[in-house]
Amino acid sequence: MTFLLRSDETLLHIRVSSTEDGMGITVQTRNDGAQLKRRRALVAGSVGNFIEWYEFGVYGFFATIIASNFFSADGSGDLESLIKTYASFALAFFRPVGAALFGRLGDRIGRRPTLVIVLLLMSGATTLIGVLPTYESVGILAPLLLTVLRILQGLSAGGEFGGAVSVMTEFAPPGRRGLYGSWQSFTVALGLLAGAGIAALLATVLDSGQLNDWGWRIPFLLALPMGLVALWLRLRLEETPSFERARAVQSEPTVDAATPVVQPTVGETARAILLGIGRLMGWSAAGYTFLVVMPTYLQSSLNATFHQALVASVLANAGFAVTIPLAGGLSDRIGRRAVMLTGTVLILVLALPLLNVLQNEQTSLTAKGFAVFAAGAAVGLVAGPGPAMLSEMFPTSVRYTGLGLAYSLSNAVFSGCAGLIITWLIKETSNLDIPAYFVMATCAVSAIALSTLRGNAHKRALVD
């Protein structure tokens, strides 16, 4: 005979059976409610990242078209207008202000309400880009309006990462923070893949005139239905256990005196942020160079077609996506340091040879496809454990702010400015190896910073 008793979160499974010695009773419990909350946390945290990186990917993939529509009076789309486009790209990536603003809000009022706000801001700004008038219609007002919307996206994106990673890792069960945190990076890959896929589809079904006139707007307008679905998911999200516990201890210190809330000094937090930037800069530079900037580099420097560049981007992001959850899960077993350091050193060693494969006109398309896939896979080894590694560096009271600032500052310089730096340096030096040198220099610094990670950091509980 079996009885099932359910509370709000726990299922009590009672089995009564007869034995030779009499009655036997077996009692099992299953915390279905906690598991449901974890799943909701993963989905609700991931969906905002998906939209954010879908949009940034779309902007990167359509950079040449945006240049001709918004930054060039004659629609020529030359290198000068492309540099202006990436300047706007870099401006939108200056997300530290958003990370500080929304991070502080998230550490005070909670992860859930803050993530709802940043989602509304991101989705709204992205949708409006799809209806902006071009330079031909309103002149200089067109790039100004685009820049304003990119700033709003930058602010919201600055608040997205810290909140999403806090939610994922604070809901994660013991021993699985790396896997749970890897969903942030995994949905980055999915967002970039979705952007590349839609761009490739549009480039296939539309001719160049249609794509330049109105086809480029479609991917941005799709942010509206995506945002509505994401909003519904986030409104169902509950507050994280770590934040609730920290808030309870702060309001009633005698309730749990054995678990004090850690309040680091400003100096301690600043040092942790700087160390986090050092550990992330290689990931930031390699990720954007190989996954987003590469399509434009292939077109402007290696004379690839728009369609060929997008296919290369899809392959790179596929390699990135494949290794992310594997690397996150592996880091729960052998540690963040071993996995992230391996990925960083691989990128450092392979960056120049892989780029030379793409530059060689005699290399087969299969070999070039493998090269971009391998580049993405190497970045995935760093990106998988990265969110959990950052989360473990900060206590709950400053986690949203701290990891958000470390990530946003690293991306502001080494991702947001990657296209601008690489394009300008190639123009000035005519050296087509610049992307590889940029990646190698940042990975060398990251390797040193990652070597300071404790080998057993992944086994410790998050600090409240």
Total residue count of the chain as it appears in this document: 464
Nearest residue to 179 (alpha-carbon basis) of 319, 320, 385: 385
What local confidence, expressed as pLDDT, does residue 197 receive?
82
Out of 52-56, 286-290, 292-296, least confident range: 292-296
With cut-offs at 50, 70 and 90, classify the pLDDT of residue 168: very high
Average pLDDT over residues 119-146: 89
| Separation of CA 19 from chain center | 56
Share of the chain above pLDDT 90, in %: 38
| Better-scored residue on pLDDT, 192 or 90 | 192
Average pLDDT, stretch 15-30?
A: 52
List the single range of 29-33, 282-286, 314-318 with lowest mean pLDDT: 29-33
The predicted structure's pLDDT at residue 314: 80
Q: What is the mean pLDDT of the chain?
A: 83
What pLDDT is attached to residue 295?
66
What local confidence, expressed as pLDDT, does residue 191 receive?
87
Is pLDDT larger for residue 360 or for residue 198?
A: 198
More confident residue, 56 or 320: 320
125's tokens: 């700004």
Model confidence at 7: pLDDT above 50: no
Q: Of 460 and 380, which is predicted with more confidence?
A: 380
The predicted pLDDT at position 82 comes to 64
Model pLDDT, residue 357: 83
CATH class for the region spanning 31-251+264-459 = mainly alpha
| Range with top average pLDDT, 96-110, 192-206, 249-263 | 96-110
Enter the tokens of residue 64. Answer: 């040449």
Span(s) in the chain for CATH 1.20.1250.20: 31-251+264-459
Mean of pLDDT values over 310-335: 89
